[in-house]
Structures are given as structure tokens and as C-alpha cells.
């Protein structure tokens, strides 16, 4: 038997690899920042175009999928399934919408209250003030269900406050004003995006310099700024820009201290903190809608 096996072993050795039946499986690196399954839609506020709503609906499973809308960032105390904020999703073709809202974290921990999330293909957080989302949902069963939706391949999305809350570090969480970037008692977001801080209404409100203030204190974070009418569609560490304006990425540890600005169709690798080829547009080479250069 040894005489038969020796030539085979020598042949395998010459080709520099193990026998075919011993081939190792291909190992894919886990995302560093984005979700390992499912998708996130992170929108910068303002009027979102149909391309964003339709993309969200597609990721949720199509028109028949259950989409839960959580409008708690808003100031009203009562929301129902007739709420006008559902219209953009209806126009996109959504047929199965449900509003879920409470100000009480005890209710947010009630399995009866959270039951719709167990069947949802997508969850959407409209705008308002992000501290209201923290007070109602951070650390509750609702919060846990968001991760479960992603685990089964669904989508979590939001705009304005609903964008910032998805990050691990929460910006503009102060209950008194949205002009303050850092609020010591409201610094924790939902953490659907690891190691990030997300700002919104970026160019429309002249906020393009603000994230540098945070990153000077927290250089471990990746800063993401999204302008109105624009969203990032994030799957794993792949972040695609969709919409009418720009998304900016701030890396305090980069070789040059300046943000990267990408427009619709461009893709940014969140884990590598770099745009994919042909997608990068340097912020210093871009101009906003008023014609003034954007400076980091």
C-alpha cells in the first residue's frame, strides 16, 4: 500500500496543496461596521426621492411585506395608521404598514407590544428628535428586535433623527437643542452601525465641519454625514449613496485630515474607510448647491 500512496503524496506536494477532498472552505471576513446580514437605509432628512423609498421597500421584501413605522422621534403623543407620514411608503407601493409608538420603555419591553416586529420585513424611523427614541427604546425589547430583523435578512431604515439613532455614538441628542453636537447624557445610539457617528441635514444646515469636533475626542469613530434628499444603503460594510445630494465620510486617522464626499451611485467601504474605485470625490473638489466650496 505504501508504494501506491507515495507517488500520490509526492504529486500533491509538488502542486503545493492538500488533496482535493481536504480543500478548506473560503472564509469571508465579517463586516467591521455594517450588519452581517440584512440592510440599513440611513437618510439625511428633507424630501426623499422615490428611488430611496422604493429601495427600502425592495429590501423589506416587496409591497406585501409588513413594514413597521416607529414615529416616536416626533413631538406628537398620538400616531395611528392614518398618519400622513406613511404616504411616501404608500406611494412607493407598500401595502402592509403598521404604526408602533410609545413613550414608555416598560411598554417597549412588553412582548404584546413588540409582536409585530417579529413578523416585519422592515422598520422605518421618521425624523424628529433622537433623544425621544433613546428614552423610549434604548435597551428594550424593541431595540433587541431591530437586530433580529437584520439577522433574518430584513431592513432597518430612518431619516434625520432616524438616521443618527442607528449609529453607536449619538450626535445631537440634547433634549433642549439640536445645535449642540455632544450631549453627555445622550451619547449612546442603537448601535446598528458599529464604531460610527451619523449626522444629517449636513449641507442644508451648514454642518459639514461639525463632526471634526467629535472625532477630535473620539478618533476611534468613523464620522458619516448625509445631506438632505440622500441616503446610504448599507449591506455589510458596503455603503451605497442613493439620492440627490452627497454623503461625507470623516476618518480622523486618515493620511490627510479631510472628508470624502460621494454622490449617488458611489460606494464606500466602511470597514476599509475608503471609497471603491471610481467612486471617490474629494470634498475640496466639490461645490454645494450655492456654489461655495466645501471645506473640511
Sign of CA dihedral 148, 219, 41, 178: positive
**Per-residue pLDDT at 254:** 84
Reported as a single tens digit per residue, the pLDDT across 162-206 is 999 999 999 999 999 999 999 999 999 999 999 999 999 999 999
The model's pTM is 0.85
Reported as a single tens digit per residue, the pLDDT across 227-277 is 999 999 999 999 999 999 999 999 999 877 889 999 999 999 999 999 998
Residue 224 grid cell: 458619516
Q: What are phi and psi of 98, to 5 degrees?
A: -140, 130
Reported as a single tens digit per residue, the pLDDT across 30-81 is 999 999 999 999 999 999 999 999 999 999 999 999 999 999 999 998 998 8
Alpha helices, H only, the chain: 2-14, 50-60, 87-92, 105-108, 111-114, 130-137, 141-151, 161-164, 211-217
Q: What's the topology of domain 29-285?
A: Rossmann fold (3.40.50)
Amino acid at each position: 500500500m505504501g508504494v501506491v500512496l507515495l507517488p500520490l503524496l509526492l504529486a500533491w506536494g509538488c502542486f503545493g496543496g492538500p488533496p482535493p477532498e481536504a480543500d478548506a472552505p473560503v472564509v469571508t471576513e465579517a463586516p467591521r461596521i455594517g450588519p452581517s446580514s440584512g440592510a440599513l437605509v440611513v437618510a439625511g432628512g428633507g424630501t426623499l426621492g422615490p428611488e430611496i423609498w422604493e429601495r427600502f421597500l425592495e429590501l423589506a421584501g416587496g409591497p406585501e411585506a409588513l413594514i413597521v413605522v416607529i414615529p416616536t422621534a416626533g413631538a406628537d403623543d398620538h400616531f395611528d395608521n392614518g398618519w400622513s407620514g406613511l404616504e411616501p411608503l404608500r406611494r412607493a407601493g407598500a401595502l402592509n404598514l403598521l404604526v408602533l409608538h410609545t413613550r414608555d420603555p416598560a411598554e417597549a419591553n412588553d412582548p404584546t407590544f413588540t409582536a409585530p416586529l417579529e413578523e416585519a420585513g422592515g422598520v422605518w424611523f421618521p425624523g424628529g428628535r433622537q433623544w425621544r427614541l433613546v428614552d423610549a427604546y434604548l435597551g428594550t425589547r424593541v431595540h433587541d428586535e431591530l437586530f433580529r430583523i437584520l439577522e433574518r435578512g430584513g431592513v432597518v431604515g430612518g431619516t434625520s433623527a432616524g438616521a443618527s439613532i442607528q449609529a453607536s455614538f449619538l450626535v445631537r441628542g440634547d433634549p433642549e437643542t439640536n445645535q449642540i453636537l455632544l450631549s453627555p447624557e445622550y451619547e449612546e445610539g442603537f448601535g446598528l452601525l458599529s464604531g460610527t457617528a451619523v449626522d444629517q441635514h449636513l449641507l442644508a444646515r451648514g454642518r459639514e465641519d461639525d463632526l471634526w469636533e467629535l472625532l477630535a475626542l473620539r478618533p476611534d469613530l468613523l464620522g458619516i454625514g448625509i445631506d438632505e434628499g440622500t441616503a446610504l444603503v448599507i449591506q455589510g460594510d458596503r455603503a451605497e449613496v442613493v439620492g440627490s445630494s452627497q454623503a461625507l465620510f470623516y476618518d480622523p486617522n486618515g493620511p490627510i485630515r479631510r472628508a470624502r464626499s460621494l454622490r449617488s451611485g458611489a460606494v464606500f467601504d466602511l470597514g476599509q474607510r475608503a471609497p471603491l474605485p471610481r467612486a471617490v470625490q474629494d470634498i475640496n473638489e466639490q461645490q454645494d448647491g450655492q456654489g461655495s466650496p466645501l471645506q473640511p
